[in-house]
């Protein structure tokens, strides 16, 4: 499971940093765009990752994307990032397996110059019938 970044900002400070009203942050949370951590007392705590997400939300809404569209775009971007991480991991595993296979083959191969090959077998004699 992924470790969460440290959540260090209370809503008022976070809203001021982002240049938005705290109610906007609450609306984004209700809409599933932001997911701040909560203290035991239920207070919201925002992280630097939340700030990056909020900046992305602001970029998209400035381009005219509605909040439902923003939500879908963020989900797709998250899925794309996870897929890229998975692909990179699988490529590394495949590369390692291929290298291991090549190491295995190198041990088993004997250079042709050093190999002696004897071909022994029955000779075929053609007999032609004489009449």
* Number of domains the chain is built from: 1
Question: Which pLDDT value is given to residue 111?
Answer: 62
Q: Is 61 helix (H, G, I), strand (E, B) or coil?
A: helix
Report in angstroms the alpha-carbon separations of 68 from 34, 61, 65, 80, 131: 13, 10, 8, 18, 100
pLDDT in tens, 20-46: 999 999 999 999 999 999 989 999 999
Domain extent at residue 69: 11-110
89 domain residue, yes or no: yes
> Is the pLDDT score of 2 beyond 60?
no
Q: Does residue 123 sit within a domain?
A: no
Averaged pLDDT, 8-16? 94
Residue 13: DSSP 8-state? H
3-state class of 46 per DSSP?
A: strand
> In this predicted structure, what is the pLDDT of residue 10?
94
CATH of the domain at 89: 1.10.1660.10
Note whether residue 131 is domain-resident.
no
Q: Which helix (DSSP H) or strand (DSSP E) does residue 107 occupy?
A: helix 67-108
Does residue 75 have a pLDDT over 90? yes
């Amino acid at each position: 499971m992924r470790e969460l970044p440290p959540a260090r900002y209370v809503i008022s400070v976070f809203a001021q940093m982002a240049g938005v009203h705290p109610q906007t942050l609450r609306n984004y949370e209700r809409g599933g765009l932001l997911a701040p951590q909560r203290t035991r007392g239920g207070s919201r705590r925002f992280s630097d990752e939340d700030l990056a997400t909020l900046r992305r939300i602001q970029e998209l809404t400035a381009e005219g994307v509605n909040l439902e569209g923003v939500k879908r775009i963020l989900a797709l971007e998250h899925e794309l990032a996870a897929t890229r991480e998975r692909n990179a991991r699988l490529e590394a595993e495949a590369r390692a397996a291929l290298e291991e296979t090549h190491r295995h083959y190198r041990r088993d191969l004997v250079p042709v110059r050093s190999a002696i090959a004897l071909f022994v077998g029955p000779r075929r004699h053609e007999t032609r019938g004489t009449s």
